[in-house]
Amino acid sequence: MTWPMGVAIYFTIWWIVLFAVLPFGVRSQHEEPDYAQGTDPGAPVAPKLLQKALWTTVLAAVVFAGVWYAINLDV
């Protein structure tokens, strides 16, 4: 696998993992005792996007390592 192909595969895996990680630990405003009036009750209270981006990077690296291993061994 060439490095541009590896970057493209990692980028694709990263986005797929991000969409899988985004719902973890999210509490919507209607689940909280007090929320800002005039906002969507389904909006997240604290989405923790930086933490989720870091977890996504780590998990995507693990998945990419497996993909890289499978491609290089022709499994």
Residue 74 has pLDDT above 80, yes or no: no
Rounded Cα gap, residues 72 and 69, in angstroms:
5
HSE, side-chain direction, 13 A CA sphere, residue 36:
8
Rounded Cα gap, residues 29 and 35, in angstroms:
6
36 vs 26 pLDDT, higher one: 26
Tens digit of pLDDT for each residue in 37-57? 888 888 888 899 999 999 999
- Looking at residue 46, the DSSP 8-state letter turns out to be -
* CA-based radius of gyration for the chain: 18
Tens digit of pLDDT for each residue in 11-30? 999 999 999 999 999 988 88
